[in-house]
Amino acid sequence: MISLRGLLNRAYGSYFEIVGPGWIETETYSVDATMPSNATAEQFQEMLRNLITSRFQLKYHVDAKQFAGYSLVVAKGGVKFKESVIPVGEPCLRWAGRRVSRWGGATGRA
């Protein structure tokens, strides 16, 4: 089961802001469809967009929107990062003396 918003996120990617009535988050649907085994991610998204458009009679438009943001740039004095001492392929980060998995779960003391 997936909401219409979930389907739209998969069909258009999370880059787009999806605006619609409140029910697109609460109503859920079961989608039973087949696609070629060699379909690319782009082809899958196009097929899903076509399915949503035909089954939900979706009408949409694309708008440009300005918003504030920040740019990460190198300062005049150059890069001040130090080379990492964690071996390549190490699957964890260190935070406050604890080993933390990439997905955020603390795994105990380092």
- pLDDT tens for each residue of 39-69: 999 999 999 999 999 998 888 777 888 888 8
Rounded CA gap, 96 and 86, in Å? Answer: 15
pLDDT on residue 109: 46
Contacts of 29 (CB under 8 A, 6+ apart): 1, 2, 3, 4, 7
pTM to 2 decimal places? 0.55
Q: Within its chain, how far is the Cα of 43 from the centroid?
A: 18
